[in-house]
Amino acid sequence: MSDSIDVNELKTLLQQFADARDWNQFHTPKNLSMALAGESGELLEIFQWMSDSESLSAKSDAAIREKTAHELADIMLYLVRLAGLMNINLSKAIKEKLILNSQKYPADLVKGSARKSGK
């Protein structure tokens, strides 16, 4: 199995999945964004009580890796479904956001700091 994913193919697969179950009526931007937040909360729950060092070493625990993989997949599925519903080109949006972030957080002002540049 390839490590890459075709977002447009995934959008189509998710549309077919929803069509087959008559779920389009429930897939509103509000509901999908709430589901996305819920899945993000489930990801957070995995690491909630770990120290920073425990969370960094969690990748060597097969059970934690599997739970994390499933939550990341759920997040990605809701994200792509919402983008499809909103007619958002994720590749374009990501590239635009990276440019905006590089302007908002210039490396020479924020390098090595977790604080915002204040720009």
Same domain, 46 and 100: no
Which tokens belong to 97? 């956001």
Same domain, 94 and 68: no
Same domain, 75 and 94: no
Same domain, 82 and 32: yes
Same domain, 81 and 99: no
pLDDT interval class at 115 (50, 70, 90): confident
Reduce the DSSP state of residue 89 to 3 states and report it.
Answer: coil
Question: What is the per-residue pLDDT for 19?
Answer: 96
Same domain, 31 and 55: yes
With respect to residue 1, please indicate whether it lies within any of the assigned structural domains.
Answer: no
69, HSE (Cβ side, Cα atoms, 13 Å)? 7
Calculated CA dihedral for residues 70, 24, 36, 95, nearest 10 degrees: 100
Per-residue burial over 103-117, b if 16 or more Cβ lie within 10 Å, else e, is eeeeeeeeeeeeeee
Same domain, 74 and 28: yes
Same domain, 13 and 60: yes
pLDDT interval class at 29 (50, 70, 90): very high
Q: In angstroms, rounded to a whole number, what is the distance separating the alpha carbons of residues 95 and 18? A: 28
What tens digit of pLDDT does each residue of 33-50 get?
999 999 999 999 999 999
For the chain, helix (H) and strand (E) counts, in that order, are 6, 0
Query: 111: domain range?
Result: 90-119
Same domain, 67 and 96: no
Question: What is the per-residue pLDDT for 72?
Answer: 98
- The answer, as to whether pTM is greater than 0.85, is yes
